[in-house]
Amino acid sequence: MNGRRHRVLYLSHAFMVGGAEEMVLNLVRHLPPRFEPMVACIHEAGPIGEEIRRTGVPFTVMGLTPGLSRPLDVLRLRDALTTLAPTIVHTFLLTGSLYGRFAAMMSGVPIVIGTEVNIYENKQPLHARLERWLMKGTDAVVASAESVKDYYVTQVAADPDSVEVIYNAVDWAQLQTTMTRDEFRASVGVPLDVPAAGIIARLTEQKAHRVLFESMTQPELSALHLIVVGDGDLRDALRSRAASLGIAGRVHFLGARRDLGNVLSAIDIFTMPSYWEGLPLSMVLAMGAGLPVVASRVAGIPEVVKDRVSGILVDPGDSSQLARALAALVQDPSLRSQLGEAAREFVRPRFGIDGYVSSITNLYDRLLAAKGPATFAEATVDKL
């Protein structure tokens, strides 16, 4: 690299709590020295944004809300990218994908990369058309699973060669615990002698908490407790729904938490009954902890969870089917152990952060080589 480092700017509207945000946190922690990571928040930092800030990487909060009603904010975003002068802009989530890529193209950033982490069946037609146009100036889009790539290519008429599948990954250090199983259960009000399932997800319609709550009303799950980790717009509505179903005493809302090792060590089953997905990182982490998974048969989940081998797959929205799957695991400890061990053996060698970072940096290197050194010479910084 001739003693120079390439600036990589990770750009999103905000870094709340979610899989895409975790990916950026992992990248800034593990990117090799030939790259200089920077992070910019178009609107606000968010909780994981604050964690990223604490790593010490250059971190910018722009306070912008670009959109059709605020076109000047798109120009301000362009000007900010011109000032930051990255070699690579790698965008995440909707606002970053749309306006971040557009601003990067206007400011002449040499390499522009998007990210698609979910199958968005309900993506607005205007957004799909804009993304189709943006692909003309986008060097690559990283998809979180093969199914996500296939859907995205069809949805926005993208060249399949420009969409690269790099599976999301987790930092296995997140499985470290600071409390025993009994201590954690006692701290959150879960009895020590009952079966417990868990879900770690934003409280949104996508994650289908209501379907999960309905499954818990079945008689065969009358002893099952549920630990709900995450926050979101449906927090109050979901609490009310649990109460109306008569299961509030067995549903434990913990809010957003970062001690996921403690959470996972305290449960017996992990569930992810989403209506749509990409590849949920909390599920991969749970599998790495040796937990059996009950999850929806959608998007990238079947690429990781093999039905009746490392978990049980169910149809999205079917609370009765979900209840039967959970009951099968509640009633059979040996099956839980068998599926959990198979889950751990499958994900541990495949979904660690080192492999993810290597795949991402290999993509960067290929794109840099394709552009040629003259293209980005002015967008690099001297190595310290």
Taking residues 316-323, report their average pLDDT: 98
Give the DSSP letter string of 252-276.
EEEES-S-HHHHHHT-SEEEE--SS
Beta-carbon contacts of 112 under 8 Å, excluding residues fewer than 6 positions away, are: 88, 89, 91, 101, 104, 105, 137, 138, 139
Distance CA 170, CA 344 (A): 13
Report pLDDT digits (tens) over 197-225.
999 999 999 999 999 999 999 999 999 99
What the chain holds in terms of domains, given with CATH numbers, is: 4-169+352-382 (3.40.50.2000), 172-347 (3.40.50.2000)
Lowest-confidence segment of 40-49, 103-112, 119-128, 159-168 by average pLDDT: 119-128
The encoded tokens of residue 113 equal 């990369």
Confidence of residue 374 (pLDDT cuts 50, 70, 90): low
Alpha helices in the chain (DSSP H): 19-30, 47-54, 71-84, 93-95, 101-106, 125-134, 146-156, 181-188, 209-215, 235-244, 260-265, 281-288, 301-304, 319-330, 333-347, 353-371, 373-376
Residues near 355 by beta carbon (within 8 Å), at least 6 away in sequence: 169
- Residue whose structure tokens are 């070699």: 87
Say which range, 16-25, 32-41, 259-268, has the weakest mean pLDDT. 16-25
pLDDT digits (tens, 9 = 90+) for 73-85: 999 999 999 999 9
Measuring CA to CA, which residue among 10, 200, 207 is closest to residue 93?
A: 10
| Residue with the two structure tokens 């250090």 | 173
Residue 267 has a pLDDT of 98
What does each C-alpha distance from 62 to 11, 12, 86, 96, 325 come to in angstroms?
Answer: 11, 11, 16, 13, 46
Query: So what's the pLDDT on residue 224?
Result: 98
Query: Whole-prediction pTM value?
Result: 0.90
113 bridge partner residues: 90, 140
* Residue 75 tokens, joined: 């120009």
Q: What is the pLDDT of residues 144-188, one digit of tens each?
A: 999 999 999 999 999 999 999 999 999 999 999 999 999 999 999
With a cut of 50, say whether residue 61 has pLDDT above it: yes
Instruction: Report the DSSP pairing between strands 311-314 and 88-91.
Output: unpaired
Mean pLDDT across the stretch 40-55? 96
The residue-averaged pLDDT of 256-269 equals 97
Residue 375's pLDDT band, with cuts at 50, 70 and 90, is low
Is the pLDDT confidence value at 373 over 80?
Answer: no
pLDDT of residue 372: 79
